Amino acid sequence: MSKTINPAIIAVATGAMALLGGCTSDPDSPGLEYMPDMYRSPAIEAYVDYGQDPYYFGDSLAKAQRNTMSARLPVEGTIPFAGHEEDAAYNFPYAYPRTEEGYEAAGRELHSPIPMTEATVAQGKEIYDIFCIECHGAKGQGDGTVVNKGNYPPPPAYDGNQLKDLPEGKMYHSISYGRNIAMGAHASQLSPKERWLVIQYVKYLQHGGKMPGEAPQASTTTAEAQ
């Protein structure tokens, strides 16, 4: 014997549920929660609203719970490293203030955490071609397209007298904070690691498009003897 549910019963049940669900006059009310535990798990999960239904528990308790964070901020002073300990070095707070003394001190004490290799220079070039080339020019001669249009003061050439011996710490300082009026701060565009990478390419251009230490006329080196 097969049993069927009378469609009339379904219609009455659905109608009763709709009536019960909609029987408050406040348009913000979610309606009666039959089983609040099913909506609000006792386990703490990120981004879940733990405020209980104010219609059920009262306004003050609901408010207090809404102000309880579930996604925690890191402890103050925490240095992010995303699983790679070497990344922590880049995220230490920058110790040098935006003053001439800070600039000089960075020039004396601050050194790149990245050893300079052809691969890092190539990575630096990619960043340079996006953020710096329009002013400094492809070879760092201060003749980028923005400057060539005529309304912008040309930056000094990287391998000219003013900048050819500029220490990397000063470069980092200037890229982070900007330099005088014409060179803007790039701290919001480049992470500390990217700043050090682009500096590798600037150093490469300072040396006339060669790795520092590479002899200008690379002729008699151990590379040849091997």
Which of the residues 183 through 222 are near ligand HEC (CB under 6 A)?
183-184, 186, 198, 202
Structure tokens that stand for 178 in this block: 């900007």
**C-beta of 49 vs 126, nearer to ligand HEC:** 126
**C-beta of 155 vs 192, nearer to ligand HEC:** 155
What is the spatial distance between Cα 140 and Cα 144, in angstroms, rounded to a whole number? 8
> Could you count the other beta carbons within 10 Å of the beta carbon of residue 50?
16
Smallest distance, ligand HEC to C-beta of residue 195, A: 7
Q: Which stretch binds ligand HEC (CB under 6 A): 10-18, 177-185, 207-215, 216-224?
A: 177-185
Give the burial class of 1: count Cβ atoms within 10 A of its Cβ; 0-12 exposed, 13-18 middle, 19 or more buried. exposed
The terminus-to-terminus CA distance of the chain in angstroms comes to 94
> Could you count the other beta carbons within 10 Å of the beta carbon of residue 111?
12
**Is 163 among the residues that bind ligand HEC (CB under 6 A)?**
yes
Smallest distance, ligand HEC to C-beta of residue 178, A: 9
Provide the mask over 50-89, with x wherever binding to ligand HEC is found by CB under 6 A and - wherever it is not.
Answer: ----------------------------------------
Q: Which of 20, 23, 182, 218 binds ligand HEC (CB under 6 A)?
A: 182
Q: Which residue has the tokens 């879940």?
A: 48
**C-beta of 55 vs 103, nearer to ligand HEC:** 103
Q: Which of 137, 155, 169, 192 binds ligand HEC (CB under 6 A)?
A: 155
> Could you count the other beta carbons within 10 Å of the beta carbon of residue 209?
10
Which of the residues 114 through 153 are near ligand HEC (CB under 6 A)?
131-132, 134-136, 146, 153
Compute the C-alpha angle 218/224/225, nearest 5°. Answer: 135
What is the spatial distance between Cα 67 and Cα 194, in angstroms, rounded to a whole number? 38
Compute the C-alpha angle 82/85/90, nearest 5°. Answer: 80
Q: Which stretch binds ligand HEC (CB under 6 A): 1-9, 19-27, 78-86, 182-190?
A: 182-190
**C-beta of 89 vs 133, nearer to ligand HEC:** 133
Residue 66 vs residues 48, 54, 62: alpha-carbon distances, Å: 10, 11, 6
Interacting residues with ligand HEC (CB under 6 A): 131-132, 134-136, 146, 153, 155-156, 163, 166, 170-171, 174-175, 179-180, 182-184, 186, 198, 202
